Amino acid sequence: MAKFNWKRLGLAAGLSLTLVAAGCGGGEEEGSGDTEGDDSGEETADEGTDEGAEEDGAGEEEGSGDSANYSEEMDYTITGIEPGAGVVGAAETAVEEYDSLAGWDVETSSSGAMATALGEAIDNEEPIAVTGWSPHWKFEKYDLKYLEDPDGVFGEAEEIKTMVREGLEEDMPNAYTVLDQFQWEESQMNSTMLEINEGASPEDAAASFVEENQDMVDSWTEGAEEVDGKEIELVYVEWDTEVASTHVVGEVLTNLGFDVTLTPLDNAVMWQSVASGDADGMVAAWLPATHEDLYAEHKDSLEDLGANLEGAKIGLVVPEYMDVDSIEDLQPAE
């Protein structure tokens, strides 16, 4: 809880600083315009133009100065997440492929630590580049942008897919039906993630999603019958997206009478456990690019139940206030 309150405070502080800054700028311009405007009407028009030009000039100078220092200020470091994540692997490939990232490091930690670092950087209007993905609540909470990736290292649009172990259809046809029919939209996943980010437990956020979206949930359970305490295990990684989706599916299965276990694992272990049949399924497969290698390794021992969400994306994400648009705008350490 403390973490979330702190973030909200931080965001509020960031916003008020921006407003104060904007207010000051506007005040000064108006002031000087008014004073000079008293001298002559004609001049006012000219000065208006000059003023505009000066403003632009100042803006550019500031911008290029910042952008020259961004990479150094960031210590030539991309703020990553869990070591096994596809987006971290892609960032490492980007460091190898882009001249602009020569000598950079991809620092790994956790999705939570990345989010904290991002929030802190934004509070201080400092530059930061994170391994990002969407859907994600960070785009609702902050003004962020993906850096252009002209070499296509981070792939194009991704789907999040559902994978189950072989034999699930025979053993647990009702769970199979639900997993096969589970599919939702970015906005729904976003609102669930945001609720969790704002302090709700994943269980509570999932329960309220199910309560508020009964028609959609009915379309997932259509044709599935209630069971009496049959055990099922879903595996996931503690990425915000997967925490949300896995708990929503877990809630639906619980309501059908299943005894549900949700187990957080590392990415590679998650794939392995479904492929080996240790776990029953997962809703966390990012394809075609993010988990391409893991899919290639395990696809013959899994059943692919198709997309549960379309229009996902990964890439390097920076705050809007950074005057860079492309990975190529960054600067090598060497």
- Residues in contact with ligand PBE by CB under 6 A are 81, 85-87, 133, 239, 241-242, 267, 286, 290, 314
Considering the complex, state which of residue 19 and residue 157 has its C-beta at the smaller distance from ligand PBE. Answer: 157
In this complex, which beta carbon is closest to ligand PBE, that of residue 267 or of residue 273? 267
- Residue 289 amino acid letter: A
Query: CB–CB of 207/250 below 8 Å?
Result: no
User: Between 47 and 292, whose beta carbon lies closer to ligand PBE?
Assistant: 292
Nearer to ligand PBE, 292 or 329 (CB): 292
Among residues 63, 205, 44, which one has the least CA distance to residue 137?
205
| Cα-based angle 17, 20, 26 (whole degrees, multiple of 5) | 140
Minimum distance from residue 323 beta carbon to ligand PBE (Å): 26
- Coil, strand or helix: which one is 77? strand
Q: Nearest distance from residue 267's CB to ligand PBE, in Å?
A: 6
Among residues 86 and 319, whose Cβ is nearest to ligand PBE? 86
Minimum gap (Å) between residue 89 Cβ and ligand PBE: 8
Q: Which residues contact 23 (CB under 8 A, 6 or more apart)?
A: none
Residues 6+ apart with CB under 8 A from 99: 332
Instruction: Identify which of residues 256 and 294 has a Cβ nearer to ligand PBE in the complex.
Output: 294
Backbone φ, ψ for residue 139 (5° rounding): -75, -20
Shortest separation between residue 185's beta carbon and ligand PBE, angstroms? 17
Supply the DSSP string of 218-247, one letter for each residue.
HHHHTTPPP-SS-EEEEEE-S-HHHHHHHH
Strands 105-107 and 77-79: parallel
The token pair that represents 317 in the structure block = 């994400």
CB 232 within 8 A of CB 251: no
- Min. distance of Cβ 152 from ligand PBE in angstroms? 16
Closer Cβ to ligand PBE, 253 or 312, answer by number: 312
Whether 245 and 308 have beta carbons less than 8 Å apart is answered as yes
Nearer to ligand PBE (CB atom), residue 88 or residue 168? 88
Smallest gap from residue 270 Cβ to ligand PBE (A): 10
Interacting residues of 75 by C-beta distance below 8 A, sequence separation 6+: none
> Shortest distance, CB of residue 288 to ligand PBE, whole angstroms?
13
Smallest gap, in angstroms, from Cβ of residue 86 to ligand PBE?
3
